[in-house]
Amino acid sequence: MAAGIAGAGLGLREDLAHAKEEGHYMHQECGAEKSKYFDKLPLEGVSATSSVDTHIDLIDGKLVASVQGIAGLQETITVPRSNPTNIVFRNKTDGEYRLVASLGSKMLTDGVKEDVVHCTQLIPQGSEQLLILNIPKPAEAGKPFTLTVPGLTGQSIEVIVP
């Protein structure tokens, strides 16, 4: 106990303190390359099985959605607004890929528009990751919300928010 209390008094480990300042692990880096911190030791399994709305599978380079309750593979998914929706991305293709959700843009306090982008970590074949979407507004006309895989062109699932 004494050792533990003394340790707590000494503060965070050097590297953790540094990471905290720089925001290494909090920053999502959603490009096609492997990010040094965000993609370090990616989680490769998702224990949620019954609470998943949609599985997005990357099968041999093709992105498809299997939506719970809807038979067959889909290319669009419909998600209610402001609703936390669990999407599981499963990589069934050789190579490391991530799923990126482009959900329009939001207005920051200083009048600047910032793109809303969420993504999973980069995962190898056979792994899966969870992405929780919570989309506050429907898409602007002409600029649909999409799920894409950086590094693979033409693969996109549209996310419709009525």
Residues interacting with other proteins, by CB under 8 A? 48, 50-53, 68-71, 76, 78, 80-86, 130, 132, 134, 136-138, 140-141, 160, 162
CB of 156 to other proteins, least distance (A): 17
Nearer to other proteins, 53 or 93 (CB): 53
- List all residues 6 or more positions away from 128 whose beta carbon is below 8 Å from its beta carbon: 44, 45, 46, 88, 89, 90, 91
- Residue 16 phi/psi, 5° resolution? -70, -40
Cα separation, 16 vs 59, whole angstroms: 37
Q: What is the DSSP letter of 29?
A: -
Nearer to other proteins, 82 or 153 (CB): 82
Cα separation, 90 vs 128, whole angstroms: 4
Cα separation, 104 vs 141, whole angstroms: 11
CB of 68 to other proteins, least distance (A): 5
CB of 162 to other proteins, least distance (A): 4
Nearer to other proteins, 48 or 59 (CB): 48
Nearer to other proteins, 129 or 148 (CB): 129
CB of 9 to other proteins, least distance (A): 17
